[in-house]
Chains A and B, each alone.
Chain A
Amino acid sequence: MSNIFSTSIGRKLLMSLAGIFLLTFLVVHLGINLLVLRETQDAFNIAAHFMGTNPVIKVFEIVLFGGILIHIIYGMILSIQNGKSRPVRYKKDNHSQTSFFSKYMFHTAIIVGIFIVIHLFDFYFKAKFTDVVDSVTINGKHYHDLGELVIEKFKMPVFVFGYIFAFIFLSFHLHHGFQSAFQTLGINHKSYTPIIKAFGVVYSILIPLGFAIIPIVIYFFR
Chain B
Amino acid sequence: MDFTLKIWRQENAAVKGKFVTYQINDISPDSSFLEMLDQLNESLIDKVQKPVCFDSDCREGICGACGLYINGRPHGPDDAITTCQLHMRKFKSGQTIVIEPWRAKPFPIIKDLVVDRSSFDKIIEAGGYVSVNTGGVPDANSIPIPKANADLAMDAAACIGCGACVAACKNASAMLFVSAKVAHLSLLPQGRVEAKERVRKMVDTMDELGFGNCTNTGACEAECPKEISLTNIARLNREYYAAKLS
| Size of the chain A interface, CB-CB below 8 angstroms | 42
Q: Is the CB of A2 within 8 A of B204?
A: yes
Q: Is A96 an interface residue (CB 8 A)?
A: yes
Interface residues of A in 1-44 (CB under 8 A from B): 1-2, 4, 7-13
Q: Is B95 an interface residue (CB 8 A)?
A: no
Q: Which residues from chain A contact B191 at a C-beta distance below 8 Å?
A: none
Q: Which residues from chain A contact B241 at a C-beta distance below 8 Å?
A: 9, 13, 186
C-alpha spacing A39/B244, complex, angstroms = 54
- Which of B19, B210, B213, B240 lies at the interface centre, i.e. has the most chain A CB atoms within 10 A of its CB? B213
C-alpha spacing A7/B209, complex, angstroms = 12
Distance of B149 from chain A, by nearest CB (Å): 14
Q: Which residues from chain B contact A78 at a C-beta distance below 8 Å?
A: 213, 215
C-alpha spacing A155/B187, complex, angstroms = 60
Q: Which residues from chain A contact B100 at a C-beta distance below 8 Å?
A: 90-92
Distance of B218 from chain A, by nearest CB (Å): 5
Q: Is A82 an interface residue (CB 8 A)?
A: yes
C-alpha spacing A91/B6, complex, angstroms = 10
Give 14 CB contacts A-B under 8 Å: A2-B204, A8-B213, A10-B240, A12-B214, A85-B171, A85-B212, A90-B72, A94-B170, A95-B71, A96-B219, A105-B215, A179-B216, A183-B234, A190-B231
Stretch at the interface among B37-45, B52-60, B102-110, B133-141: B102-110
Q: Which residues from chain B contact A1 at a C-beta distance below 8 Å?
A: 200, 204
Q: Is the CB of B217 within 8 A of A103?
A: yes
Q: Is the CB of B218 within 8 A of A102?
A: yes
Q: Which residues from chain A contact B171 at a C-beta distance below 8 Å?
A: 82, 85-86
Distance of A149 from chain B, by nearest CB (Å): 38
Q: Contact check: which of A89, A92, A187 meets B71 at CB < 8 Å? A: A92
CB contact under 8 A between A8 and B203, given known A82-B170, A90-B100, A184-B216: yes
The chain A residue with its CB closest to the CB of B171 is A82
Residues 65-79 of chain B, each 1 if its beta carbon lies under 8 Å from chain A, else 0: 000010111100100
Q: Contact check: which of A85, A93, A97 meets B106 at CB < 8 Å? A: A85
CB contact under 8 A between A12 and B213, given known A85-B171, A89-B103: yes
Q: Is the CB of B71 within 8 A of A186?
A: no
Q: How many A-B residue pairs have CB under 8 A?
A: 132
Q: Contact check: which of B173, B204, B235, B240 meets A85 at CB < 8 Å? A: B173
Q: A95-B71, A184-B216, A187-B234 are in contact. List 15 more A-B contacts (CB 8 A).
A: A8-B203, A8-B206, A84-B212, A85-B105, A85-B171, A86-B105, A90-B100, A92-B69, A96-B72, A96-B222, A98-B218, A102-B216, A179-B216, A180-B215, A190-B231
Q: Is B172 an interface residue (CB 8 A)?
A: yes
Counting from the closest, the 5 A-B pairs by CB-CB distance are A188-B234, A186-B238, A85-B212, A82-B171, A95-B72
- Which of B100, B104, B216 lies at the interface centre, i.e. has the most chain A CB atoms within 10 A of its CB? B216
The chain B residue with its CB closest to the CB of A95 is B72
Q: Which residues from chain A contact B203 at a C-beta distance below 8 Å?
A: 7-9
C-alpha spacing A190/B229, complex, angstroms = 11
